[in-house]
Amino acid sequence: MREKRAIAIVVLALAISLAVGCAQATDATITGTIKTKLAADSRVRASDINVDTTNGVVTLTGNVDGQEAKDAALQLARSTTGVSDVKDMISVRSGTASGEAPDPKRTLGGRIDDAGITMRVKSRLLDDPLVKGLRIDVDTRDGVVYLTGTVGSEAERKQAIEIARTTEGVTNVEANLR
């Protein structure tokens, strides 16, 4: 009788710990859930935002076209089960000096110029021995280069910004590097 009781207690303890473990969202589950929410939300282009989760702390990085998209992404992340904090590293693209969002009806020539700038910056980042160019996303709007990603040191961050800043056609650099 005592053995059965001990076994029942062990089984109950295992069941409780399994239930608690399943109830707590893993970092991968949190990341996946947020990415799914972003993809389903019409205000946000999910491809513009990167989601990383560590111990329940979500870091959102990327470049979006407007404040509404940024606010929606942050709200979706904060409302996700298991999220203890959200770090906002999302930049709102601003291709004009006034800080207004760029005109979505950009000319073909403007888009081609921006694509060329993006390619030149990315190529230079990949060629530089200090910078890990594969870990940095480059986006260009109206000559403004947006750098998003992870760097290993402050020296690497400064070098990446300097490379972008000194690339032909670049009018400004917005760095969102962590």
Using only C-alpha atoms, the chain has a radius of gyration, in whole angstroms, of 22
96 close to 142: Cβ distance less than 8 angstroms: yes
Residues 78 and 128 in one domain: no
Q: What is the pLDDT of residues 49-81, one digit of tens each?
A: 888 888 888 888 888 888 999 999 999 999 999
pLDDT category of residue 149 using cuts at 50, 70 and 90? confident
Residue 46 three-state SS: helix
Instruction: Please give the residue range of the domain that contains residue 123.
Output: 108-177
pTM of the model: 0.51
Check whether residue 76 and residue 150 sit in a common domain. Answer: no
**Last-in-domain residue among 37, 66, 92:** 92
The answer to whether residue 83 sits within a structural domain is yes
pLDDT band (50, 70, 90) for residue 100: very low
Place 99 in a pLDDT band, splitting at 50, 70 and 90. Answer: very low
7-41 pLDDT, tens digit each: 766 555 555 555 545 545 688 888 888 888 888 88
Output the domain CATH number for residue 121: 3.30.1340
Phi/psi at 58 (5° precision): -95, 130
